[in-house]
Amino acid sequence: MLAESLGALVEPLGSHADPIGELADLVAGGDVVILSGAGLSTESGIPDYRGPSGLARRAEPMTYQTFTGGAAARRRYWARSHHGWRHVAGAVPNAGHRAVAELQRRGLLAGIITQNVDGLHQAGGGQRVIELHGSLHRVVCLGCGQLTSRAALDQRLRAANPGWAATVTQLSPDGDAVLADREADRFGVVDCQRCGGMLKPDVVFFGENVPRSRVEECYALTGRARALVVLGSSLAVMSGYRFVRHAAKLAIPIVIINQGPTRGDALARLILDAPLGQTLTDLGQTLTDLAAPSTHGQTAPSRAAGLRRRAAGLRSGDDQQRA
């Protein structure tokens, strides 16, 4: 396994007396890539896939094969998603999203890769976000490829289903919801207004491949990073975990902030098992404090340069150990 083969290449975690301080040292060097997962949005009221225990909350997510395989499956999906979309559309960015946007505003990030489909990075001020798994805010026609807004589809579905209501027992981070089949079977589905083709949310279902160009863009971004910071992801699926493996192979420091264990823990330089919102807010404050003029007369620019050298030294030290 990669974790075993790279065991000698990853600095042991040991005891970190000041994990936020060490994280700040790495981030202050700039060129950080963020890889975010569902755990970043839980404080916005959107559930994650596994939670702190690491156990899956839902055993049967919608697959591409099931969705395209029959009208009944699509009807049930759109009925569930019709309810789930209302919850996602009403969610607002939390402190974690805003803190990431602030890091980007300060020029410390090389980019943001998100596995989430909720659009909350952008709503929180994030820019140039690579949506690895797409976005629930868009709908694609599998016939002609036309992209339309989910808000417009929501209006069409409401018009096609006047008075329809159902009891939701569970929500999922992918905008799906759990409700009885008998309620879903009464739901009316609409098709593409241009060609009459099958409509699908512009997200990557289980069993569907992420577009190759998007994957290559993420690999290239990760390869240019000074550090990779994973936020709120168990890394249980290869879709996001491959970029952690890629960073480890290139001796790029990896930080994981998540509640609960992750698949990438053995490859990480630093692990923080903590709530994302407060941790990222603390990080922002620590960076502000570090950049401020010190009582010893060191100016903010010179101290920031020193932090960049220290962050570079952390990486070069790893490189020497791994040579």
Residues labelled as active-site residues: 133
Helix%, strand%, coil% for the chain, nearest 5: 45, 15, 40
Tokens of 229: 């910071």
48 within 8 A of 173, measured Cβ to Cβ: yes
Tokens of 176: 């799906």
How far apart are alpha carbons 64 and 51 in whole angstroms?
A: 24
User: Tell me, what amino acid is at 155?
Assistant: Q
Check if the beta carbon of residue 174 is closer than 8 Å to that of residue 85: no
Q: Which residues contact 223 (CB under 8 A, 6 or more apart)?
A: 246, 250, 252
User: Nearest CA to 199 among 153, 250, 151, 254?
Assistant: 153
Three-state SS for 153?
helix
